[in-house]
Amino acid sequence: MILFLDTTYIFPYAGVDLYNNGQKVWDAEDLENLMSLEHKLLYCDLSLFEIYAKCLKLSIKGQLSANLEDIQSNLVSLSRSKRFTQIQFLPNSIDQEFLQELRKIHTDTFDCILLYLAVGFADYFITMDETLKETVFSSVFCMNWIASHNKSFQILVKETNFHTV
Domain limits for position 87: 2-157
Q: pTM to 2 decimals?
A: 0.92
CATH number at residue 50: 3.40.50.1010
- List, as one string, the DSSP characters of 40-66: EEEEEHHHHHHHHHHHHHHHHTT---S
Kindly indicate the confidence band of residue 164, based on its pLDDT and cuts at 50, 70 and 90: low
pLDDT value at 165 more than 70: no
What total number of domains does the chain contain? 1
Predicted confidence (pLDDT) per residue in 58-105, tens digit: 999 998 888 999 999 999 999 999 999 999 998 878 899 999 999 999
Q: Which amino acid is at 72?
A: Q
Q: 163 in a domain, yes or no?
A: no
